[in-house]
Structure 1
């Protein structure tokens, strides 16, 4: 939402009739991403037109392009995050930019504001609403020079010292991470274990958990451990060796909350690490979605297994407060021009980087 922060007005150029964009034309490999000139979107009533300064990539971009989400009752169906995707589709959930126009019944004073867009499409209007759609999947996103968004999903960050690339890194990765922290009830003094700590969400979890005052044990690969430690991890665990044994040796009192984007067999092996009443929060399945565990370790110890998908509007508002004060410093792994979106997605898929990959339209 817009706030009364100072406005960074710049001379706004006349709006063009069309714009550059990269569109997903089918499900498949990066060859289905095409550069094109498309009509400039026009903001409807209650919407803003945002000039995209930076758009960050996420695994969701890859899986939506591949159609890898399946459907209820048909796990092999080609589908996006919440079902079939209308094609062609402009991808890109994570946008930082500035407002250049507004639709009817919208305050024109908003033009010129530096903003971050909440990419979620919610099932209601309250602060606890659940995400049921995503910009770049269920509606066009930020792989373009301009994008429209509802005004109540456009957050003023004019005073933030973070760069556009850093601001664009926040919505999906840090929003998902903050949703995990909130749903896992992480507080100062807790000991947390973060899996996949070198990825976008994992690194966000490390930074946000430290910002909250938790002790962070982070799991990553050997060539990335130093960078994860530099991001704020109190101890790093090499996933090439026994993660459970390393975690047990790193803390004598067990783990309060596991913040997990990997899942797989670690859930079954690691559940006994939790302290009494601890939580295992899962927001991904990079290690496999078929999970088995000893249910006695769950109910005898009052443990919780929590599913967490993205964030609520309330979570995102908290994230934007952190953005305005630069409470975290997102790490940028690489930047690409818009037309190199296929190359950027290929680099993301290789998973050799630490931090976020960003397109600069």
Structure 2
């Protein structure tokens, strides 16, 4: 197979608005290093991380270029973003078995190794290295997981980030069939994944979402829905849940601790409603609560997810697809939060 030297893709050229995204047709095709594989990208999902990185949301300082990467470092620009990738291996490095060429794979988006060398802190695909918003991308072979599924490339691209984040949160907090779980932001990619994965474990699920999305969450498996913005204590009662899976934070955050039973858990992997919250430390220690912040995937989490996919235990929620060149429209649609599930970009194949 003769591979091209140039490819189509989207480059982030700086922090700011949508004009920082440039669609180009003359980007150099990457070459896999010794421990890596070259993947022809078929589809790539849109995530909060893409938007947050573009606008500099991760920065904690006034200069949003010095620490605005996912890992707290400056980005190496121009950068190809895109962490949710479904594609096909078309070439391998010297240390990788050539028999892997032709495999259909999902990329594990959070990882520690680059060309076989362990990094001092975890990397995120499309942040510390180029990602999948292009026709070709590279990753260490161990993070390219083989698929055996009848789902479309677009459906499969809806899984990696959202579902691995949700699976990681539920793994860290040890969800089981005795749990009553409240999930905030339940109509989004991670939230809807958490609904499915918590039900897979036998837990009772209470989903928080807007009124017009409640039936969709019930259809997905939620046992109960609560309207976003409702008083959770009034709706559910004090000490009524054993786990809060939080993706929003914001002004309602103190209520999460009120509805948690003594000795229960709170796990968080997002703050789309605002990162600064008011914590009464007395509630934390008097209730013997356990808090979990989740970013880096635990060992085995992504492999478990791929197993669920291959065994048809979870289903994709594909809200909408866009051609890669229409990434700005895709991100605008994503930011409007009118969808349920995932928005996915279709990558050109020529």
TM more than 0.5: yes
Give the distance between the partners of 2:346 and 2:186, measured in 1 at CA. Answer: 25
Deviations, residues 170-226 of structure 1 (Å, cap 9, x unaligned): 111111111110111111221100000011111111111111111100000111111
Q: Is residue 2:119 matched to residue 1:133?
A: no
CA contact 1:50–1:97 (8 Å) conserved in 2: yes
Tell me the CA shift for residue 124 of structure 1. Answer: 10
Q: Secondary structure at the match of 2:300?
A: helix
What is the aligned counterpart of 2:53 among 57, 64, 80?
Answer: 64
Q: What value does the CA root-mean-square deviation take over the aligned residues? A: 1.9
Q: Deviations over 1:19-62 (max 9, x none)?
A: 11111111111111111121111111010011111100100000
Structure 1 residues 77 and 182: alpha-carbon distance in aligned structure 2, compared to 1, 3 A threshold: same
**What TM-score, normalized by structure 1, do the two folds share?**
0.90
Alignment counterpart, residue 211 of structure 1, candidates 200, 215, 229: 200
1:181-330 equivalences under 5 Å are 181-248=170-237, 254-330=240-316
For residue 272 of structure 2, give the secondary structure of its aligned residue in structure 1: coil
Tell me, yes or no, if the aligned pair for 1:93 and 1:134 is still in contact at 8 Å: yes
DSSP-derived class of the 2:307 partner: helix
Please report the TM-score for the alignment, with normalisation by the length of structure 2.
0.92
Greater CA drift, 239-248 or 319-328: 239-248
Unaligned runs of 5+ in 1: 1-12
The residue number in structure 1 matching 2:21 is: 33
Q: Which runs of 5+ in 2 are unaligned?
A: none
With over 3 angstroms needed to count, the CA separation of the structure-2 counterparts of 1:172 and 1:75, relative to structure 1, is: farther
Distance (whole Å) between structure 1 residues aligned to residue 156 and residue 183 of structure 2 = 23
| C-alpha distance in structure 2 between counterparts of 1:240 and 1:191, whole Å | 20
Measure, in 2, the Cα distance between the counterparts of 1:111 and 1:101. Answer: 6
- Contact 2:244–2:256 (Cα < 8 Å) also in 1: no
User: In structure 2, what is the equivalent of residue 4 of structure 1?
Assistant: none
Structure 1 Cα separation of the partners of residues 299 and 136 of structure 2: 23
Output the CA distance in 1 between the equivalents of 2:120 and 2:232.
33
Q: Distance in 2 between matches of 1:247 and 1:105?
A: 55
Partners of 1:59 and 1:288 in 2: CA distance: 13
Which residue pairs with 1:110 in the alignment?
100
Distance 2:112 2:226 in 1: 36
Q: Secondary structure at the match of 1:298?
A: helix
